[in-house]
Chains A and B, each alone.
Chain A
């Protein structure tokens, strides 16, 4: 436990001090607002914003998750490999501390630090919306959406961001990750195979549909379930609350497996 807490504390401290951790999401938001920023602007326009505060803050979660997770993954891509790159790994490996606990502390600590600007942006907009509309319930929905949609998705992304650079250069991972994220979240699954609307969609389609009854800002979008003519429909059963929890569990299990794989690979290389 000491190892996990020590690693978490210092990895958090080192990551949260990185200027890019704050600059990248801030620039992303500014650019997004400048080029349109739909919901981020509409939230404060009485004529345009959703009437239901739940729809408003869950929609905000979807938009910020899709947008800010790109930077989140890219910013974490050097965290595991940097111990070797900085030549600190030998010192750490020679301590009696469990390498697994160290890795877990790094994962949670660096991940949490990188998620702070994301959370600040999300809860900042949600709070401003709650004040603007006089709807304190919006903050409750925001908390729930952050826990059920953001957190599993970010944990999923963080695991790949830590482990994948062990088998490819970090810049290549960043390029592939951005490509995957746009492909998986922008391209329609009936045009080409994607993980969108599947149980393992990191944007949280099943929790959105089954736990928050979210069907887009206009109520016309489907976030989970089968798509006629699309591949991977076996991973797109009709959404239910049980499947929503299963979807969250699957994301976490995959994240754990990826981390375990990364740990085993590094241990094999060192030894």
Chain B
């Protein structure tokens, strides 16, 4: 299911532009979405989920136009959505909650619905807690219920916003693998702050800033944006002020800083091979090298 977004703008009351003239094509498969808080990722996902209406622009998912009621309903029939601010009904059990969402997704056949709910409880390792009220679930368990509800109707389009938040490392890896296996011929749009999750699952990625697209390309291309800009600095003094500190590790001679900066941030700085996180930071801070592919068509803002 290919997503085509052109000239998309969403301005909330009070004149706050969450999305500002966005053009983006999302192909089938896993696609990552990165950006700082307030970049417009969640608004974009809520528009794609048919919850929020754009102020202007056009969005098509497959052959359906999200600008029409019929188009939104058609997309929602094939949609799995895991919101960032996931909530559940505390007075229902996990099985009941999933059954309710399945009914709202149009899964009318009771036998099919019960089987599917059971399968997904197994997938997210909640079978033994299936008949416990959600009130007593931990954040990670609730997140797993959220993941299960998103997969209920075997969606062709899966939109997941910060899906690994609240999961322990093992659960995170399990969920990443699940997403990759699930993607296949489907479209999975993954938004996260955890850059490593993108690197482990997505071939292509987009970076948003202030509602605009500032990068679109492969994960390798994003990584290369930091080529020649990643440095290792060891010092027992204060952290270098030049560039963006990616990490700081205690070292025998003080602290070892990993820094993204266009030039050596201090005389003893050693160049390093960039990683995806470095590439993201280089792009997000506006220091990334020029892209071979423009993020937006000519004539639009970059």
Contact = CB atoms under 8 A, between A and B. Distances in A.
**Physical interaction between A and B:** yes
Interface string A1-15: 011001100100110
A2 B103 contact: yes
Contacts, number: 80
Nearest to B106: A96
Interface residues of A, number: 24
Contact of B89 (A6, A88, A93): A88
Contacts of B46: 90
Contacts of A92: 101, 104
B193 interface: no
Contacts of B146: 91
B81 A97 contact: no
Interface in B55-95: 73-74, 76-77, 79, 81, 83, 85-92
Contacts of A13: 92, 96
Given A90-B83, A90-B85, A91-B83, A96 B105 contact: yes
Interface string B120-152: 000000000000000000000000001001000
A93 B86 CA distance: 13
B14 to A, nearest CB: 13
Among A6, A87, A91, A94, the most chain B Cβ lie within 10 Å of the Cβ of A94
B105 A95 contact: yes
Nearest to A85: B87
A4 B51 CA distance: 19
B88 A2 contact: no
Given A95-B104, A95-B105, A10 B87 contact: no
Given A6-B104, A97-B106, A270 B90 contact: no
B76 A95 contact: yes
Contacts of A90: 46, 49, 51, 81, 83, 85-87
B52 A3 contact: no
B51 A94 contact: yes
Among A3, A10, A18, A270, the most chain B Cβ lie within 10 Å of the Cβ of A10
A54 interface: no
B108 interface: yes
B106 A88 contact: no
B87 A88 contact: yes
A2 B91 contact: no
Given A270-B51, A271-B53, A86 B104 contact: no
A91 B143 CA distance: 13
A87 B91 contact: no
B29 interface: no
Given A2-B103, A87-B85, A93 B91 contact: no
Contact of A93 (B51, B85, B92): B51
B81 A91 contact: yes
Given A102-B104, A271-B52, A96 B73 contact: yes
Contact of B106 (A2, A86, A271): A2
A91 B101 CA distance: 8
A14 B76 CA distance: 26
A41 interface: no
Contacts of B77: 96
Nearest to B75: A96
A2 B108 contact: yes
A271 B100 CA distance: 24
B284 to A, nearest CB: 26
A113 B106 CA distance: 25
A95 B108 contact: no
B40 interface: no
Contacts of B74: 96
B19 to A, nearest CB: 14
B9 to A, nearest CB: 14
A22 to B, nearest CB: 14
Nearest to A88: B87
30 contacts: A2-B103, A2-B106, A6-B100, A6-B103, A7-B104, A10-B92, A10-B96, A13-B96, A86-B89, A87-B85, A88-B87, A88-B88, A88-B89, A90-B49, A90-B51, A90-B83, A91-B86, A91-B87, A91-B146, A91-B149, A93-B49, A94-B79, A94-B83, A95-B101, A95-B104, A96-B105, A97-B105, A97-B106, A270-B52, A271-B53
Interface of B: 46, 49-53, 73-74, 76-77, 79, 81, 83, 85-92, 96, 100-101, 103-106, 108, 146, 149
Closest 9 A-B residue pairs measured CB to CB? A87-B87, A6-B103, A94-B81, A90-B83, A97-B104, A96-B76, A95-B104, A94-B49, A86-B87
Given A3-B103, A87-B86, A96-B76, 15 more contacts: A2-B106, A7-B104, A17-B91, A86-B90, A87-B87, A88-B87, A91-B86, A92-B104, A93-B50, A94-B49, A94-B51, A95-B104, A95-B105, A96-B77, A271-B53
Interface of A: 2-3, 6-7, 10, 13-14, 17-18, 86-97, 102, 270-271
